[in-house]
Structure 1
Amino acid sequence: MSRPPRRGAEAGVAEARQAFATGEPGPVVLLAGPERLFAEELVAAARARFVPEDLSVFNFNRYRGGQDDGQVIFNAAATLPMFSERRLVVVMDADAMPRGDMDRLTTYLTSPSPSTLLILVASETGEKLPAALKKVPERY
């Protein structure tokens, strides 16, 4: 009897790779932990799967928390994809977003765009994560 894949905070590396390679990740995903190569691998897998290369200029945005304006980030996440089923928005250093941007994230989580995959990458884990990031339902 096979066990259903674990979701959320208990999901392991294998489940994360499976979700990004062949599954259907939720509209907002948190990749938390110090291993940046793992996060970059999953971002690359999501980009290859959901954003056709010739349409990436329209459907792929990469930002850095604490450096890029949260309003711009969440406007991009709310924008419909062009000529594609999904849009990919990645926020590196999401745990460095200022409080106002964390508030925007909390608001976005109440009604995320179903056509956008928002990937938040944070170096902190567990109790050190900001409260807004702990609300992300799908975490690896």
Structure 2
Amino acid sequence: MSALSRKITVATAMGACALTAMTGCSTTDTDSSRLSSPSSPSTPAPETSGSTQYADGRYEANGEYGSQDSSIGVTLTLSDDVITEITVDPHATDPTSLDLQERFAEAIPDRVVGRGIDDVHIDRLAGSSHTPDGFNDALEKIKNEAGK
């Protein structure tokens, strides 16, 4: 990727992040019922149906993605089907991939903590378009493990 192309990509990603921050929209949600309330724009209200589908607890999984066997580690805590804590462990060794995974790991808690696990699906975050595939893979593994 040329330096000019990278600058344009970074500028585009920064503009998208700024637009998302100004509008209060989540990463992939378009349904207005899933947007956070004006009184707490960074912490959406948990969406639970009263009966839980997943066992409370702490779960870990590695998410695989890409054609070069890339992966990230995801550790999260569930309570009443709501993600209450999350960490992402970058596994990349390539400097560019590692940078993208680290930025993703830093941004993900603001997007998912306080949300129901079934309501989370990340398409693109912090300039990364492939790391979310690994995150979503890990999330599916966790849902399978935690399912009652």
- Between Structure 1 and Structure 2, the one with more helix by share is 1
The normalised TM-score by structure 1 is 0.27
Please give the TM-score of this superposition, normalised by the length of structure 2. Answer: 0.26
Higher relative contact order (Cα pairs below 8 Å, separated by 6+ residues): 1
Rg bigger for which structure?
2
